[in-house]
């Protein structure tokens, strides 16, 4: 048994963490910003001031009509969840959206496609899912399926963008794991769905399912089935950054000048 096998998964995980800033610098900066924002809202501001800030940045109908750009962009500077109450269902949601969605799969998207396309997927999913959900809310209010208080509901965070990245991140998995993962991405929002008597679940469940549908839809776009060309690909694959990340760094010929399809 060689020394590499003695390390096993823990060694690969350690090397992946060590190489994280190089592979996904923008995601790392965003994670730090989200953590700083969470501490600021949770620990620094008073409860009333925090409620005022988040209320202004909420992507509810009234804010989308009054200051849509501020609400859409400001709402992704914070995540709705907890990092301390580990026994709560909110912590599970934090692990999925912030932990898996942002820290893992957004970093994977940045490494695979580069900063611009990763931001386009994440922010595009957030904005599109929010606006489409607003259309659903407006229709549901007209039909009497939602209470009128929904117009001022508190709705902020990274979860729609994270859900889009989780869905398109199906490409990061081996083929045998893609169907179970897709089922998980669709199922977890339904686990906490609330029904108010109408034919629709709560609007946040609608938003998460919409964001997932957007991400799965991108799987059929050829540009998202190819990885970017990186001159440092051989060294990336050799740094032991984990099987799925190493597969994203396949060596390419500098003279080829063309993107290569993923191996899985």
- Pull the structure tokens for residue 26: 């923008």
pLDDT of residue 252: 36
Four-point Cα dihedral 53, 73, 111, 83, nearest 10: 20
pTM: 0.82
What does the pLDDT look like over 174-219, one tens digit per residue? Answer: 999 999 999 999 999 998 889 877 899 999 999 999 999 999 999 9
> Please, are residues 17 and 107 in contact by the beta-carbon 8 Å criterion?
no
Smallest CA-to-CA distance from 59 within 158, 167, 145, 141 is with 158
Q: Could you give the percent of the chain with pLDDT greater than 90? A: 68
pLDDT of residue 224: 82
Instruction: State residue 232 phi and psi, 5-degree precision.
Output: -95, 15
Question: What pLDDT band is residue 123 in, cutting at 50, 70 and 90?
Answer: very high
What does the pLDDT look like over 64-109, one tens digit per residue? Answer: 999 999 999 999 999 998 888 888 889 999 999 999 999 999 999 9
> Please, are residues 157 and 75 in contact by the beta-carbon 8 Å criterion?
yes
């Amino acid at each position: 048994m060689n020394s590499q096998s003695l390390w096993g998964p823990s060694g690969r995980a350690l090397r992946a963490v060590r190489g994280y800033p190089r592979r996904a610098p923008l995601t790392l900066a965003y994670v730090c910003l989200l953590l700083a924002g969470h501490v600021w809202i949770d620990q620094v501001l008073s409860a009333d001031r925090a409620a005022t800030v988040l209320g202004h940045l909420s992507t509810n109908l009234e804010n989308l009509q009054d200051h849509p750009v501020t609400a859409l962009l400001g709402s992704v500077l914070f995540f709705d969840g907890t990092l301390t109450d580990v026994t709560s269902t909110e912590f599970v949601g934090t692990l999925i959206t912030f932990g898996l969605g942002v820290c893992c799969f957004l970093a994977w998207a940045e490494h695979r496609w580069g900063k611009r396309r990763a931001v386009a997927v994440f922010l595009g999913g957030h904005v599109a899912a929010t606006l489409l959900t607003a259309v659903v809310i407006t229709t549901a209010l007209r039909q009497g399926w939602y209470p009128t208080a929904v117009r001022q509901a508190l709705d902020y965070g990274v979860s729609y963008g994270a859900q889009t990245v989780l869905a398109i991140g199906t490409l990061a998995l081996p083929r045998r794991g893609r169907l179970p993962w897709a089922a998980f991405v669709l199922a977890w929002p339904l686990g906490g769905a609330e029904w108010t008597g109408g034919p629709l679940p709560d609007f946040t469940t609608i938003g998460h399912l919409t964001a997932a549908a957007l991400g799965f839809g991108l799987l059929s776009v050829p540009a998202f089935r190819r990885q970017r060309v990186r001159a440092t690909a051989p060294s990336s694959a050799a740094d032991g950054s984990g099987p799925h990340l190493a597969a994203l760094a396949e060596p390419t010929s500098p003279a080829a000048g063309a993107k290569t399809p993923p191996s899985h």
